[in-house]
Copies of this chain bind each other. A is one copy, B any other.
Amino acid sequence: MSRVSGRARGDWRLCVLTDSRHARGRSHIEIAMAAVRGGATVVQLRMKDEPAREAVAAARAIAALCRAAGVAFLVNDRVDVALAAGADGAHVGQDDLPAADARALLGPDRLLGVSAATEDEARAAWRDGADYLGVGAVYGTSTKADAGPPVGLDRIRAICRAVPVPVVGIGGITAENAAEVIRAGAAGVAVVTAVTLAEDMVEATRRLREQVDAALGR
């Protein structure tokens, strides 16, 4: 592994996940466009039921729009789709491709995010090559059946102490509670419905970004 230990790459302040199952009929591309316009620093394509051919087509389009805007673009779970579409990287959960395998397939230069709910999972993910950790569900969430019980802010603090890799809080995060997640030590927050179900997705993204930036003192 050629990574420099402790070296943080990427801007993890606000990640918007496109999940069209919880999006008032909006498409992945519509969500990604609004996220980019509103100031997301990362867009993550989360397709669960769609065939891979459709995922590659959507990922190619989103990769192009993110590249033009200087926003990082990751694909959830499917490392092959990420590579085929020219994404910046992939994000894997604990039931997805093992992090070490994902890192080997992505190579040292692409970004790898890994979901971790405990300090042990966080240490393993860091060791296996994660560039950042998605930690949650911080609060309750309706979009992920296998998310487990909320882990709360204390877990964010504990994982931030346990590993040197940036932590992104996920699960039930809104513009109202984003700042406290950052104050607990997170480098950023990741959201689904706070954007995808919003009346105005661009404005919702902008408000989240403002809350995160203010809490980070930027």
Selecting from A37-45, A76-84, A194-202, the interface stretch reads: A76-84
A87-109 to B contact mask, C-beta < 8 Å, 1/0 = 00000101111100110110000
Contact A97 B77 (CB under 8 A): no
Contact B83 A51 (CB under 8 A): no
A78 CA to B84 CA, complexed, in Å: 12
Contact A80 B105 (CB under 8 A): yes
User: Closest Cβ of chain B: how far from A92's Cβ, in Å?
Assistant: 8
Residues from chain B with a CB closer than 8 A to the CB of A94 are: 53
Contact B56 A84 (CB under 8 A): no
How many interface residues does A have (CB within 8 Å)?
A: 22
Contact A84 B96 (CB under 8 A): no
A105 CA to B107 CA, complexed, in Å: 13
Residues from chain B with a CB closer than 8 A to the CB of A101 are: 56, 80, 84
A83 CA to B82 CA, complexed, in Å: 14
Residue A52 lies at the interface, judged by CB distance under 8 Å to chain B? yes
B54, B80, B92, B95: the one contacting A79 at CB < 8 Å is: B80
Contact (A52, B105) CB under 8 Å given A78-B80, A80-B79, A80-B80:
no
Contact B97 A80 (CB under 8 A): yes
User: Closest Cβ of chain B: how far from A85's Cβ, in Å?
Assistant: 8
A53 CA to B99 CA, complexed, in Å: 10
User: Closest Cβ of chain B: how far from A63's Cβ, in Å?
Assistant: 13
Please report A residues at the B interface, Cβ cutoff 8 Å. 51-54, 56, 77-81, 83-84, 92, 94-98, 101-102, 104-105
Closest 9 CB pairs of A and B: A51-B95, A84-B101, A80-B80, A79-B80, A52-B97, A52-B96, A53-B95, A80-B105, A83-B105
